[in-house]
């Protein structure tokens, strides 16, 4: 997508206005930029960002040998990401 600015934006919102029903992923700098500006997102964008980030966090916990605490709820995620016993 062409940008009219001469420099890169501070952050991008891949699911603008939370209009799409999909998850997205960003590289580390992309997530840092988005999270640093989280307060600027509208409610739908914040929910879409959280829904996209939750499975990444769960996977990193699993990779590190941890698991979500009992009762954690990553609303909108498939049940397998909410159940520690289902994490490979």
**DSSP alpha helix (H) spans, 1-88:** 28-36, 43-63, 79-82
Confidence of residue 6 (pLDDT cuts 50, 70, 90): confident
Band of pLDDT at residue 18, cut at 50, 70 and 90 = very high
Question: Where is average pLDDT lowest: 2-6, 20-24, 35-39, 44-48?
Answer: 2-6
Average pLDDT over all residues of the chain: 80
Domain ranges of the chain: 16-68+77-86
**Which range (30-39, 56-65, 75-84) has the least confidence?**
75-84
Q: Which residue has the tokens 């990401």?
A: 81
The pTM score is: 0.63
**How big is the chain, counted in residues?**
88
Token readout for 3 is: 């940008």
Query: Is the per-residue pLDDT at 71 higher than 80?
Result: no
């Amino acid at each position: 997508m062409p940008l009219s600015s001469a420099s890169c934006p501070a952050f991008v919102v891949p699911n603008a206005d939370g209009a799409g029903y999909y998850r997205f992923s960003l590289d580390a700098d992309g997530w840092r930029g988005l999270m640093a500006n989280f307060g600027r997102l509208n409610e739908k964008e914040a929910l879409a960002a959280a829904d996209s980030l939750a499975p990444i966090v769960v996977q990193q916990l699993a990779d590190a040998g941890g698991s979500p605490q009992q009762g954690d709820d990553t609303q909108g995620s498939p049940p397998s990401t909410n159940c520690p016993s289902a994490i490979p």
